[in-house]
Each structure stands twice: as C-alpha cells, then as structure tokens.
Amino acid sequence: MNHDRIAGIVILVFCAFFYYQSFGISNQNLTGLEATFFPRVLLVGIAALALLLLIRSFFIKSAAVKKVEQGEESGPSRKWWKVPLIFVLFAIYILLIDILGFTFSSFLFMTIVYLIAITATPLKKTVKKHAVSIGFLLVVSITLTFIFERFLSVYLPKGLFF
C-alpha cells in the first residue's frame, strides 16, 4: 500500500470522525447560518480531496515507487526540514494573531509558507507570477476576514494596524 492510499484513508477517517462530532456543536443561529456550517463545508471539501487522492493512488504510481522500480536510490530527501519549519511558523503565527491582527498575520504566514513551498518545485516562475500569487494570498486573507466577520459574526483580532 503506497503513501497516498494510506494518507487518503487516514484523512477520510479523520473527516468522518469530525463530521460526526459536528452534530454536538450547539447552535444559537444568530446570523442565519448555523455554527456547524463552516466546519462541515471544510470537512466535506477535505474529504472530497482525500477521496480524489485515494482514487488517484490506484491509477498513478508515485515518483518514489517509480524510482525504486527503476533501481534509483530513494534516500532521505534533503528538504525534510520544511515540515518542522512550517509547524514552528504556525506556532509563531498563532502568537502573532493578537499582536498583528488576523488579516495581516494570516497574509504574512501564507506568504512565508508559499515562499518555502516554491523552493521545493523545480519550475521557475517569473516575478510577475510570484506577485500575482502573493496578491492572491492577500485577497484570501481579506476575504476570510470578511466572511468571518460579516456572515459568521466571528470577530477577529484587529492588532496594531487596524
């Protein structure tokens, strides 16, 4: 069983468990949307992606499996440090939300993770493409703030800048 198949199954079990747990959330229905709406939408989206990963694992061989079959070495990756670094950055992000505010700290966190992630890809992007990607991250941060505050009535930390 390959890694994608195991990951897909684990994520589906995770989503099923937390979807079941979402029925225990009390609803005040102050905004027209129930408190369970957003978590369930996220869980269904994650479960759909996990299902695609699981289905894909039956049809496409991973790069690691191909290397082993071709007799190439499959030693440890030189980029192993990225995952622990992102966890540390996430902890810093949580600490900075109250200081810098949700919108700015989210944009900063997503931008740094984006910059770390692009170092893993061999594709070269132009400066314009990076600027568009980072601009999109700013739009995502502002949109999330708008959705949480206007539709879900969840007031987020404003921080120093707002």
- Regarding pTM above 0.75, the answer is no
Q: What is the pLDDT of residues 74-105, one digit of tens each?
A: 555 566 677 788 888 989 988 888 888 888 89
DSSP the chain: --HHHHHHHHHHHHHHHHHHHGGGS----SSSS-TTHHHHHHHHHHHHHHHHHHHHHHHS--HHHHHHHHT------TTTTHHHHHHHHHHHHHHHHHHH-HHHHHHHHHHHHHHHHHTT------HHHHHHHHHHHHHHHHHHHHIIIIIS--PPP--S--
Confidence of residue 131 (pLDDT cuts 50, 70, 90): confident
